[in-house]
Structure 1
Amino acid sequence: MTTQVTKPRSTAVAPRSLRPNPAAVPLVLALLLIATAIAYPLTSGGARDAVSWTIVGLGSALSLVHAGTSRGRRTALGLLLLVGGTAVAFEAVGLATGFPYGEYRYSDALGPTLLGVPFLVPLAWLMMAWPSFLLAEHLARRRPVRIAVAAAVFAAWDVVLDPQMVQAGYWTWTHPQPGLPGIDTVPLTNLAGWLLAGTVLMTALDLLVARTRAAGSPRIGPAAPLLALAWMTLGGALAHAGWLGLPGSAAWGVALAVPVLGALALQRWRR
């Protein structure tokens, strides 16, 4: 009688150093976004337009990749559909009626449109929405507070961004006054509209994440999107003050960042 010897299956585990780091791709996208944003004030004309489109592309990709990596594919897909649909709905109504932002119009520089809304606009919302949500999630545990903080950060980001985009000629306001002190090209109604849109979007996004995230998530931390958010606000304020001739929005960017930085410092101190 012969005895058959079977070779045991290998159960070797790949060395830790050879395993792919799930946080690597979001971090690379964030660093590319920052590098591209630095190039914005150093360019002009068609080159600046290309930089703007690249920033939006990298920012939206960062949001989707991080959402998928940290919470799962269902969350990433839901994020894309929710933010895209909400952006088109609010912007299309805004263009047709002037509510809730005030009367404005887009230029042809932003390319193809859907219901009058350039395709780049929903991608810009996506770039802004996910980091704003993550920051609020980091700062607040109670849902109402978390939603309010996320909506405020979402709107504050636009306070810095909108004057830059008006300067670039991407859209114009029919009645830009009254505006925030130091900003004479964007009306206060725009800020009110962003707070309303942000509240609606962040309420839906909070529910979406709770219902779709994969077990055991978040799988990676929010470092990459929050790094991008920090640079796009504080770095944007620096660019506005030093290169773009927009001291008002630069000052507002710094002023709006102070409460967030204070809250982060207080949270760290309490730990």
Structure 2
Amino acid sequence: MSPATRTRTVLGGVTGRPTRHAVPWALGAGVIGVQIAFPLTGGGTPTLTVLAVALFACASVAHALFTRGPGAAAGLVLVAGGGGLLAESVGLATGLPFGEYRYTGSLGHAVLGVPVVVPAAWTMMAYPSLIVGRRLTAALRPRHARLATTVLGAWALATWDVFLDPQMVEAGHWYWLEPTPTLPGVPGIPVSNFAGWLLVSLLMIAALDRVLPDAQAGDDRLPLTLWVWTFLSSTMAAAVFFGRPSVALVGGVLMGLVGVPLLVVLRRRGVSP
């Protein structure tokens, strides 16, 4: 084996995947590294927040590109990024569907009043949530799987915000004009926000499920790993580092309704996320 061939084999992995597939994994490793720094900085700085979202969004788009093709990557950006921007801009202007809130300007450049990092956050998490929904419904018949994928994928996406919103509000990135009635166990965050997230997530995952092909021969361990990491690390961070035990309980239970079955399915199939 020539040195060049040996190098490609090592970088591509024992399965012989192209070297380019190392790019999403490198980005994913960066996500975890940056997020580990959040507790060390008292919940993260604006720079860390933007960096974590940028790396995660790039990892999702790169994975879609290398496993599903350029059309899938473009579709992900259009549906999740564009859809997230649309939902947020409508929310700012009308209070629907999340409730009335305002950004403080701490997250950098904005489009239509929405920081650019926000639609990137929708993009970063919508993709692994779709893969989670598909993995949980893989054994169902196609006509049943599509609806189930939408529901479970949307739940996987919307419940993440139970952790996200309290952290971002406490960090001063946005605030609620009327935070009551609150989601039980999540003080300061209106229940309308979760309802709005769930509605937008249902529409977004349903659209993504039609735009992004299911890569039967592809390796979806990266998006699964990032979703599981988000679930487990968010629960631990809220309980241990950020002093929000009720958020850890509520978020852990809600996200765990998808996360625990996912871990069981992956274990039974011998897949390590």
- Shared fold per TM-score greater than 0.5: yes
Preserved CA contact (<8 Å) 1:60 1:126: yes
Please list, as runs of the form range in 1=range in 2, the aligned pairs for 1:148-163 lying within 5 A after superposition: 148-163=151-166
Task: Assess, with a 3 A threshold, how the Cα gap between structure 1 residues 262 and 40 changes in structure 2: closer, same or farther.
Answer: closer
Query: Which structure 2 residues correspond to residues 212-223 of structure 1 after superposition, within 5 A?
Result: 217-223=215-221
* 2:195 paired with 1:192: yes
**C-alpha displacement at 1:269, in angstroms?**
7.4
Partner of 1:85: 82
CA distance in 2, matches of 1:33, 1:204: 26
Closer, same or farther: CA 265–84 of 1 in aligned 2, 3 Å:
closer
Q: Secondary structure of the residue that 1:162 maps to in structure 2?
A: helix
Deviations 1:102-155 (A, max 9, x none): 000001101111111111101010111001001101111410000011111110
Q: Aligned residue for 2:95?
A: 98
CA shift, 1:17, in A, is 2.6
SS at 2:183 equivalent: coil
For normalisation by structure 2, the TM-score amounts to: 0.86
Work out the CA distance in 2 between the residues paired with 1:18 and 1:175.
55
Matches of residues 64-143 of structure 1 in structure 2 within 5 Å?
64-141=61-138, 142-143=145-146
Percent same amino acid at aligned positions? 40
* In structure 1, C-alpha distance between the alignment counterparts of 2:263 and 2:160, rounded to whole Å: 20
Q: Which moved more, 1:48-57 or 1:238-247?
A: 238-247
1:256 to partner: Cα distance? 2.2
TM-score (ref. length: structure 1): 0.86
Say if 2:230 is the partner of 1:232.
yes
1:153 aligned partner, one-letter code? A
Q: Which residue of 2 aligns with 1:183?
A: 186
Segment of structure 1 superposing worse, 14-23 or 251-260: 14-23
Bigger-Rg structure (1/2): 1
| Cα pair 1:237 1:250 within 8 Å, conserved | yes
For structure 1, list consecutive stretches of 5 or more residues without a partner in the other structure. Answer: 1-12
Q: Give the Cα separation in 2 of the matches to 1:187 and 1:267.
A: 33
Q: Distance in 2 between matches of 1:139 and 1:74?
A: 24
Query: Which stretch of structure 1 is more off in the superposition, 177-186 or 254-263?
Result: 254-263
1:52 equivalent in structure 2: 49
Q: Distance in 2 between matches of 1:203 and 1:167?
A: 32
- Distance in 2, matches of 1:92 and 1:139, equals 32
Gaps of 5+ in 2: 139-144
Higher RCO (CA < 8 A, seq sep 6+)? 1
* Aligned partner of 1:203 among 202, 206, 226: 206
- The 3 A distance-change label for structure 1 pair 143 and 167 is same
Count the aligned residue pairs.
253
3-state DSSP class of the match of 1:110? coil
Alignment-mate amino acid for residue 76 of structure 2: L
With over 3 angstroms needed to count, the CA separation of the structure-2 counterparts of 1:79 and 1:28, relative to structure 1, is same
Whether 1:17 aligns to 2:9 is: yes
1:221 match: secondary structure? coil
Q: Structure 1 pair 257/95, CA: closer, same or farther in 2 (3 Å)? A: closer
Which position in structure 2 is the counterpart of 1:172?
175
